[in-house]
A and B are shown apart, each in its own frame.
Chain A
Amino acid sequence: MNYAPITSVYRTQLAPGDNVAAFDLNQENDVPIEIRGFRFTAIEGSAVGNPAPNNSATCEPGVWLDWGLQIGSREVRMGDLVPVVATCPRKGYADGVSRTGPSSVQPDGTYYEFKLKDPAFVLPGTRVYVLLRYSRTAPAAILGSGPTTIDATVEMYGKAIPGDLPPPLMVKMPWMTSWRAPVVLLSAAAAVEQSSPDSALANQYDSPVRVTSMLGCLATKFWAGEIVPNSKVRISSSLDGYFVREPTPIMELFSGKSREWGISCAMQSKEYWTVEVAYDASPLLQATTDYAATDQIQAIFGLVGYRTVPLETLYRDPKPEVAHPNIERARPLLPSEKRSL
């Protein structure tokens, strides 16, 4: 078992507004593990009784999929969930695969990967929660159409650590934050400039966090953002001022395919970044017939990194805030309890 790769998969179907905790991802091994990352897929849900997903979706269901991560007793409230597209770079085998014709354009090779720059150490018996939510809001789906249901899959992967090794005193826990801008009508987008609030892309902790990447995309009712070349951003820090000073196309700053900008910096306690978005949706309206002026567009941004915390803080008594009936049984075993078994 030592140093062996480990994976755990959870699959669910979400209706709009559904919240689900992926309890199948628990650390049930007898030895510590290092979590290396998570992978997500989100495809349009299949009909009841039909195991095959509908591969003909023209939207990107991942735009509506939010997730949150809780390791040990760390609290995660539903309000802390972040969009998958804002925190997980987009991947795909063979750079994605299109289906065979106009009526079937689901890139079924697309997935999202939250790969930890530094693995997260997790003791045996620790609960690992990945919380999923279909964030499309009723009655009108933002951005236009949206799947009735989403078939979502999350996979945790890592490796086992020899159980006789002393656990580290400090562990690096994943950290992420995001901002979904208010949706904007395409017809009005050219006149709209938005700024993220101070509380959105902020380090809410009392210690610095290490930011390892920033993600950004533009969501529309069809595949997100790729055909909006002229929407631009400026980004500033509350401590250091503008670091993306010139209005820069979103697709350019956040590399088109992955939507990721790899960075490495510290974000001080209570520091926040401000993203200013200036939309230009004119290409959608001028050059296509598939968008209407009443359709919407939304900018989504996220920060990903980690913070270093004492291992013991992961094993305090949980204070459940998640509305799930099993949460009380989810307290992880303390190391002393584990040894006594």
Chain B
Amino acid sequence: MIGTIPFSESSTVTLARAGFQDVQFDKMRLKARRWLLIDEIKFCVNPKNQTAGVFSSDIDGFDFASIITAIIKVGRHYIASDGVPLWLFGSRWNLRSERSSQVLVQSSANPWSSLSHITWKFLHPMLVAPDTVLGFQLRRPSTDTNLDPIAALPNSFDVETTISGSQLLSPPRERFSTVPYVQSYVIPSTDTGKVGESGEYPLRNPFTKSLRVERLVARVAANAATLNAFGPLDLLTYSAFGAGANKMGKNTVLIRVTDNFKYDIANQPSLKWPSVYKPTYQFYDAIWQSQNSSLVAPFTVNPKGWLNVRFERADGNTWNQASFPCSPMFAVIGSRQEAM
């Protein structure tokens, strides 16, 4: 009954356009004298409103977590070695899109929060020895990314990172710990019929041990070029775009996931746009769980094995045209065993 006490640490960084920041978790390293059992990493992206200087740009359905990427290390072990969009780490809770239960009182003058909350709950808690450095680096793209000009907003973004778990009152007996690992594949925005395919390397098991895959995550970000009904200086005049967004919700992207033996893991479920204007919300097809866009698929990728993901714009759709590009994203979330 005795053995742990709770633990939580958080830190905020402010990201300017094309900026990157290291999250300062040194405090945890210096002060934690006990082993930690971390089971959650949470992110909160707060795009500050220019006029209010606080929060709440009113950009319907757009999730700023899709353009902030993270590189994460624990000690010498990578958790996310390439920049992985925060959007792909876990379930997301956003007031605006993906049909949050929280609907604030609405009026024409009342903006909705554009805060994006992402919670990544580990399937297996991760042991962290005292004095281990947890390294987070958060990046925000510059203007030439696929999600320009959203990324080009002059607003600074506050990104809050929180880790939580337990402190062990006595050292663990285990010599190995589960270390999470995330890989992602993000393709630039696609136009009509455009195909993106990851190939061998982005989603390859880089370790000499098996990678235990826990779930796959697929999302589609609307390219900001489709959202240019509002400008960066006026974030509250987006209502005129609502009708178009509704129709965008019916747009589709086809996805096929295979392993290196060409076996289908997820074949051809169509992804709808991730977030649309109320009230005609559209979810992804059932295979991708609607809240976190994930497919729980426990399987093992052997050393040097890999997954291939292929995206394709659906034909025959009114909104499948060059003026409505989008950016599909895909992530493999799993873990492996590492010596402590």
Residues of chain A whose beta carbon lies under 8 Å from any beta carbon of chain B: 58, 90, 92, 94-98, 100-102, 105, 107, 109-110, 208, 210, 214, 222-223, 226-227, 229-230, 235, 237, 240, 243-246, 248-249, 251-253, 255-257, 261-266, 282-283, 286-290
Contacts and interface: CB of A to CB of B under 8 A. Distances in A.
Given A237-B5, A263-B6, A283-B54, 16 more contacts: A95-B93, A98-B278, A223-B104, A226-B113, A230-B54, A243-B8, A245-B27, A246-B11, A248-B9, A252-B44, A255-B42, A255-B119, A261-B6, A282-B54, A286-B53, A287-B54
B44 A283 contact: no
Sorted nearest first, the 6 A-B pairs with minimum C-beta distance are A96-B101, A92-B101, A102-B106, A287-B52, A248-B10, A286-B52
Contacts of B102: 96, 107, 223, 226, 256-257
B237 interface: no
Contact of B4 (A230, A252, A256, A265): A265
B42 A229 contact: no
Contacts of A237: 5
B93 A255 contact: yes
Given A246-B11, A264-B166, A266-B2, A109 B101 contact: yes
Contacts of A283: 52, 54-56
Contacts of B117: 251-252, 255-257
Contact of A290 (B4, B100, B105, B160): B105
Nearest to B31: A245
B256 to A, nearest CB: 27
B49 interface: yes
Interface of B: 1-11, 27, 31, 39-40, 42, 44, 46, 49, 52-56, 93, 95, 98-107, 109-111, 113, 115, 117, 119, 160, 162, 164, 166-167, 278-279, 290-291
Given A288-B111, A289-B109, A240 B5 contact: yes
Contacts of B101: 90, 92, 95-97, 107, 109-110, 257
B122 to A, nearest CB: 12
A252 B6 contact: no
Contacts of B2: 208, 266
B8 A248 contact: yes
A169 B237 CA distance: 65
A321 to B, nearest CB: 29
A98 B103 contact: yes
21 contacts: A95-B93, A96-B102, A98-B99, A208-B1, A226-B113, A235-B6, A244-B8, A246-B11, A246-B27, A251-B117, A252-B42, A252-B44, A253-B164, A257-B101, A263-B166, A266-B2, A283-B55, A287-B49, A287-B52, A287-B55, A288-B111
A290 B100 CA distance: 20
A102 B162 CA distance: 34
B56 A97 contact: no
Given A226-B95, A246-B27, A98 B9 contact: no
Contact of A226 (B39, B104, B107, B166): B104
A282 B54 CA distance: 8
B291 A105 contact: no
Contacts of A263: 6, 164, 166
B6 A265 contact: yes
